[in-house]
Amino acid sequence: MIPAIELDNLSVLFSGRPILKGLSGAFYGRAIGLLGPNGAGKSTLIQTLLGFHPPTRGSARVLGMDVRTQIREIRHAIGYMPENDSFITRMTGIRLVRMMAELSGLPPAEALERAHETLFHLGLGEARYRDVGTYSLGMKQMAKLAVAIVHGPRMLILDEPTNGLDADGRKRMLEIIREIRDSHDTQIILCSHLLRDVEECCDEVVILKEGLLVTHCNLEAERRTNRKFIQVETRGETGVFLTRVEQLGCELAVNGSRRLKMILPETVEVRDLYHVAAETGVQIRRLDYKRDSLQDIFLKAMEGSNGRT
Amino acid sequence: MAVHRRGYHQYDGPRTPERWRFWILARYAFRRVFRLRLVAIFYVICFIPALIASSAVYLSHNVDVLASLFQGERFSDAELVPVTAEFFLFLMTFQASLSVFLTALVGPGLVSPDLTNNALPLYFSRPFSRVEYVLGKFSVLFVLLWLVTGAPMLFIYLLKSSLAGWSWFVDNLHLAFAIVLGSAVWVSLLSLVALASSAWLRWRPAAAGMLFALLFFPTGFGQAANEIMRTGWGSLLNAIVVIGTVWNSLFYIDDADGYARAARALNPMGRVADPIPAWTAWLVVGTVCAVSLLMINRKIRAHEVVR
């Protein structure tokens, strides 16, 4: 399987100042979240993948293509939604999206058809003959997304797609991103400051700090692991219950007389605990999965002072 | 399925060849340019002098039509409108001055709005290079300006050839060459300077003002230098003298006397001793084009790196 992005000791310098410092890794996720505080190098990484900045050292590959030698092919395969307002004045939505589709290589008739289709799909069908300059902030975000997806790219790079959107707009944007992700046609790179956005859309997360890659984790695997870490609150005599639970292969930590933390082995399910509890006369009053949220992962990553994995 | 019911899906149909993709920018720009009524009206006006000149050439070969228009007048057999290098030089100068105003109307709106609205990442995240972007914008001005400078004169040349015969066409082939190359040089120079000022000054009126300033401010400075230092080299800063010298070198390519006469005619105020050599004028044109390209290269980037 070809990784969506493959970095090999990638370094980028501006005027001798290192912005990206030897990033390495291969990312395979359908939707990859790119996180990091301001100045971490997220935008520079995206721009390097787009060929806006040449790598100073090392290499980067997008969908198996090298950013130094195959940038034109890469740009055929990707769609980019920039963070800031980006549009062409005195142009209607339909003409803007159609022109961008033509610049991506679509014949004029196909470009027009797909521009209509995309704008309808994103809820701008009624506004497609209006000047883009007159659009509201939310509509401009959708117009940028339309420009990014009109040519049906294999990879979509979204830089802060929910910036400035109200609750409804944000919900709609995330729904569309998930829909594109689930189409299985397109891989997504989502760069956002909002951890919830990334958590809702991505299955893989890359965290950058001061130009270094500090964490790379698979959120799906993380969620699966967390499903095996549970906290239980019991009522009744727990001595026999604990022994039986340990015999099942669970690791236990007793916190007070009623609260237990345990890690279940792969072979044990939660319902087995209920069986044991019933057999030993113990009531399970409360059972929680440990939720190691993306926020915890992010904070842990930020705590590492040397910024290394 | 109806367009408005379709969801997201990849495109795997045919793609257009990359070689002519820059022309997409020009195609869209023409429509935007002519949406401005002022530009459309002025563009039509630009053809009027050429229309008058071609009518005069036609009538000078059709004395009977002229006689029917002006009854009672007698017209001699001598050519009423001599179509010579002087004729084309005069017309070229007139059309070129109109093209400056046309450039001031169209040029500033080509690049500066893209920079102001941060549109360049949209272009360059596609299989579309900076060179293609500049070529696309350049071709908008080049085509518009060439149609009001070189094209009408070439039309007059062909009209005259059709009226005067094959021998006139062959004998004056150097004029056709001078028309094509001379107008192309002027139009390229003007287009590049306009694109550079549009790229550096994001406020459109300022970019238009800069175009005029670049053309006329050095002229005054050069004239002052000529007067004070009693030399002719200050004329190298005079856009009219420089481009005039370039055209003279083309129109009088095989006529040294004609060139000397035309060069003296270019002498501003009739006081400067020596006209500038043709090669220096070509050098100035080349330098201005190169500097404009460097300025454009500096500004046309997907992202500006703050150093």
Minimal CA separation from A58 to chain B, in Å: 21
Mean pLDDT of chain B: 86
CA–CA distances in Å: residue A59 to residues A1, A24, A54: 19, 9, 9
Distance between CA B123 and CA B143 in Å, rounded?
Answer: 22
pLDDT of A305 reads 45
Average pLDDT over residues B147-157: 95
Res A99 pLDDT > 80: yes
Could you tell me if B7 lies within 8 Å of chain A, comparing CB atoms?
Answer: yes
Side by side, the strands of the sheet bearing A5-14 are: A17-27, A5-14, A57-62, A65-66
Please, are residues B171 and B160 in contact by the beta-carbon 8 Å criterion? no
Assembly ipTM: 0.83
| CB contact (8 A) between residue A117 and residue B121 | no
The pLDDT value given to residue A308: 42
**Residues of B whose CB is below 8 A from A95:** 28
Answer whether A178 touches B (CB < 8 Å).
no
Average of pLDDT values for A96-118?
94
Extract the tokens encoding B228. 């004070």
CATH topology of domain A5-223: Rossmann fold (3.40.50)
Q: Which of A19, A90, A103 to mutate to test the interface with B (most CBs of B within 10 A)?
A: A103
**Chain A window 118-147: which residues touch B at a Cβ cutoff of 8 Å?**
118, 120-121, 125, 147
CB-nearest to A15 from B123, B129, B307 is B307
**Class of CATH domain A227-291:** alpha beta
How does strand A204-209 pair with strand A31-35? parallel
Give how far A76 is from chain B: nearest CA, Å.
Answer: 6
CA distance B101 to chain A (A): 22
Q: Cβ of B127 and A87 within 8 Å?
A: no
Q: How far is CA B150 from the centre of its chain?
A: 8
> What would the mean pLDDT of A58-84 be, rounded to a whole number?
93
Answer yes or no: is pLDDT of A223 > 50: yes
Give the residue among A72, A82, A74 at the shortest CA–CA distance from A148. Answer: A82
Give the span between the Cα atoms of A115 and A121, in whole angstroms.
10
Q: What share of chain A is helix, strand, coil (3-state, %, to 5)?
A: 40, 30, 35
Average pLDDT over residues B114-136: 93
Higher pLDDT, residue A194 or B94? B94
Alpha-carbon distance A97 to A91, whole Å?
10
- Mean pLDDT across A235-245: 87
Check residue B77 and give its pLDDT.
56
Q: Please say if the pLDDT value at position A307 is more than 60.
A: no
Asked whether the predicted pLDDT for residue A101 surpasses 90, the reply is yes
CA distances from A241 to A232, A257, A260, A275, A280 (A): 12, 13, 11, 10, 6
Q: Residue A47 in contact with residue A53, Cβ under 8 Å?
A: yes
Which residue from A87, A90, A107 is facing B32, i.e. has the nearest CB? A90
DSSP state of B9: -
Reply yes or no on whether the pLDDT at B255 is more than 90: no
Tell me the pLDDT band of B304, cut-offs 50, 70 and 90: low
Q: In the sheet where A78-81 sits, what is the strand order?
A: A78-81, A155-159, A187-191, A31-35, A204-209, A212-218
By three-state DSSP, how is residue A34 classified? Answer: strand
Residue A254 CA: distances (Å) to CA of A231, A234, A243, A286: 10, 11, 12, 15
Is the CB of residue B131 less than 8 Å away from at least one CB of chain A? Answer: no
**B122, pLDDT greater than 80:** yes
- Percent over 70 (pLDDT), chain B: 90
**pLDDT attached to residue B307:** 52
Local confidence band at A309 (pLDDT 50, 70, 90 cut-offs): very low
Residues of A in contact with B4 (CB under 8 A): 116-117, 120, 125
pTM for the predicted model, two decimal places: 0.84
Summarised one tens digit per residue, pLDDT across range B44-97 is 999 999 999 999 898 888 877 777 777 666 666 556 778 888 899 999 999 999
E strand or H helix that includes residue A198: helix A195-201
Find the mean pLDDT for residues B219-227.
82
- The answer to whether A53 contacts chain B (CB < 8 Å) is yes
Residue B105 structure tokens: 């109307």
Q: What is the pLDDT of residue A260?
A: 84
Ordered by start, the domain boundaries in chain A are: 5-223, 227-291
The predicted model gives B280-289 an average pLDDT of: 94
Shortest CA distance to A199 belongs to which of A226, A222, A168? A222
3-state secondary structure of A256: coil
Tokens of A232: 């239980």
In the 8-state DSSP scheme, what is residue A123? Answer: T
User: d(Cα A14, Cα B152) in Å, to the nearest integer?
Assistant: 50
List Cα–Cα distances, A52 to A25, A73, B121, in angstroms. 21, 14, 9
Chain B environment of A15 (Cβ under 8 Å): 305, 307
How does pLDDT run across B161-180, given as a tens digit for each residue?
999 889 999 999 999 999 99
From the list A88, A121, A180, the residue facing B117 with the nearest CB is: A88
Confidence of residue B5 (pLDDT cuts 50, 70, 90): low
- In sequence order, which ranges of A79-166 are alpha helices (DSSP H)? 93-103, 108-121, 137-149
